[in-house]
Chain A
Amino acid sequence: KQEVTQIPAALSVPEGENLVLNCSFTDSAIYNLQWFRQDPGKGLTSLLLIQSSQREQTSGRLNASLDKSSGRSTLYIAASQPGDSATYLCAVDTQGGSEKLVFGKGTKLTVNP
């Protein structure tokens, strides 16, 4: 059974700092890994999707990497801003080619002005 873990559960940083969020999964036979952002009281917004054949994806100040063999992904946020404050979740499919995604419980990020 695929399990996804995100550590730490919460992170507080000063504005301008570069930071890394971690995601680990137990079954490396994944199809893709996705990172999401969730603001309080809102739905999830997709940030980056990394296919199993890729090593990383970039969007603006965000860079996500994937190491299937070690069961790890990281989300790097450069020059953090107060507007980046949110909960960040990662999700992977349960096995290669499956239609189901398993989510981590998220990391709550607070960027202080």
Chain B
Amino acid sequence: NAGVTQTPKFRVLKTGQSMTLLCAQDMNHEYMYWYRQDPGMGLRLIHYSVGEGTTAKGEVPDGYNVSRLKKQNFLLGLESAAPSQTSVYFCASTARQRGGPGELFFGEGSRLTVL
């Protein structure tokens, strides 16, 4: 089983460029999340979605946009990349369990460098 797949795995951008990270899951999960992981800061939630067509802001949403047009895909966009967005980005998904999140499944990560 593929689980959670992130593309691309590595990307280098120049300041001001735009890009989209794609997350795909094949487990029919309702919830999907985008986190960033930085040294000393831990995992921080950027945006999340509780179902197809819905999105919500997390802890650090500024500079990012997301879309969930299909249940299996969750896209993270950077409209104008900044060096502060250099990070490792993780996508995760989980099924709803009695109104809350269940076991979380993570992708392998996407390492983004903004010059």
Contact = CB atoms under 8 A, between A and B. Distances in A.
A43 B106 contact: yes
Interface string B27-51: 0000101010000111101001010
Interface in B58-100: 58, 90, 92, 99-100
Contacts of B107: 43
B90 A43 contact: yes
Nearest to A98: B100
B26 interface: no
Interface of B: 4, 31, 33, 35, 40-43, 45, 48, 50, 56, 58, 90, 92, 99-109
Contact of B42 (A42, A97, A98, A104): A104
Nearest to A1: B59
Nearest to B88: A41
Contacts of B41: 105
Contacts of A101: 33, 45, 101, 104
Nearest to A43: B106
Nearest to A104: B42
A34 B103 contact: yes
Given A44-B43, A45-B106, 18 more contacts: A32-B102, A42-B108, A42-B109, A43-B4, A43-B90, A43-B109, A44-B92, A44-B104, A46-B105, A91-B104, A97-B100, A98-B100, A99-B31, A99-B48, A99-B56, A102-B45, A103-B35, A104-B42
A32 B43 contact: no
